[in-house]
């Protein structure tokens, strides 16, 4: 009974940790917000589902013992860091180019801009999370919190992963819905170039920091 209670408390702490990490500003959230205001709710939700698929992938590996794999093959994490840093820098360049382009040249209208295909949007979101070492480390931390003694009961594992995935869907899709509202669209049209410039700096900083980090 005590052991079960401890696991329950640890699961709640894991949920809280994931909620804070997911809701806090980061490349994925910024991308979802920008896409929602630029291309509408459907595009942003599709992108968000791609992000969540990437998160579920790392969650699965973490529960299967990803930490042991990373310890044995340290070059794997380095490769992921390089890929993630390069991807963030590419996003920074794309945002910078958009920031330097006027609304007239982009053909801004009163309604949402045509979105990319659903498959492409989903893939973009998936790649953003698959190449994000922070997502890996967060899941490793969550699993460590939920199972401090290493005894991973199947029902508890499912509770942790399923609960965190539900939290992630609510947070990411919530951002997509909130920032796709008409009022957000009007704000976006007014501050688009400033927002894109901010995204360029944020993505660039994250990419450079990731490439230069030693851990």
150: left (phi over 0), alpha (psi -120 to 50) or beta: left
pTM above 0.85, yes or no: no
Please answer whether residues 145 and 17 qualify as being in contact, where contact means their C-beta atoms are separated by less than 8 angstroms: yes
Per residue, the 3-state secondary structure of the chain, as one string, reads CHHHHHHHHHHHHHHHHHHHHHHCCCHHHHHHHHHHHHHCHHHHHHHHHHHHHHHHHHHHHHHCCHHHHHHHCHHHHHHHHHHHHHHHHHHHHHHHHHHCCCHHHHCCCCCCCCCCCHHHHHHHHHHHHHCCHHHHHHHHHHHHHHCCCCCCCHHHHHHHHHHHHHHHHHHHHHHHHHCCCHHHHHHHHHHHHHHHHHHHHHHHHHHHHHHHCCC
How far apart are alpha carbons 159 and 56 in whole angstroms?
13
Contact 168, 18 (CB under 8 A): yes
pLDDT averaged over 10-residue windows placed end to end, the chain, 215 residues: 53 81 76 86 93 88 66 63 75 81 54 66 89 73 62 65 89 90 78 80 79 68
Tell me how long the chain is: 215
CB 189 within 8 Å of CB 103? yes
> What does the block give as tokens for 118?
């659903």
- Determine the Cα–Cα distance for residues 210 and 127; give it in Å rounded to an integer: 16
- On whether the CB atoms of residues 16 and 136 are closer than 8 A, the answer is no
Paired tokens of 19: 């909620």
Domain extent at residue 103: 2-212
Total domain count for the chain?
A: 1
pLDDT, position 25:
67
């Amino acid at each position: 009974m005590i052991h079960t209670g401890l696991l329950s408390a640890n699961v709640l702490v894991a949920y809280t940790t994931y909620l804070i990490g997911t809701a806090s500003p980061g490349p994925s959230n910024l991308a979802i917000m920008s896409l929602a205001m630029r291309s509408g709710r459907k595009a942003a939700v599709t992108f968000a589902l791609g992000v969540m698929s990437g998160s579920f992938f790392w969650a699965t590996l973490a529960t299967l013992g990803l930490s042991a794999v990373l310890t044995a093959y340290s070059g794997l994490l380095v490769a992921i860091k390089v890929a993630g840093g390069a991807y963030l820098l590419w996003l920074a360049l794309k945002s910078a180019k958009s920031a330097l382009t006027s609304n007239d040249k982009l053909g801004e209208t009163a309604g949402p801009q045509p979105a990319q295909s659903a498959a492409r949007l989903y893939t973009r979101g998936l790649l953003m999370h698959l190449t994000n070492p922070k997502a890996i480390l967060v899941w490793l931390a969550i699993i460590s919190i939920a199972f401090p003694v290493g005894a991973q009961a199947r029902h508890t594992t499912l509770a942790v992963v399923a609960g965190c995935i539900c939290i992630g869907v609510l947070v990411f899709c919530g951002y997509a819905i909130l920032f796709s509202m008409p009022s957000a669209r009007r704000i976006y049209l007014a501050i688009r170039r400033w927002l894109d410039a901010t995204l360029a700096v944020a993505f660039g900083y994250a990419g450079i920091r990731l490439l230069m980090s030693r851990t």
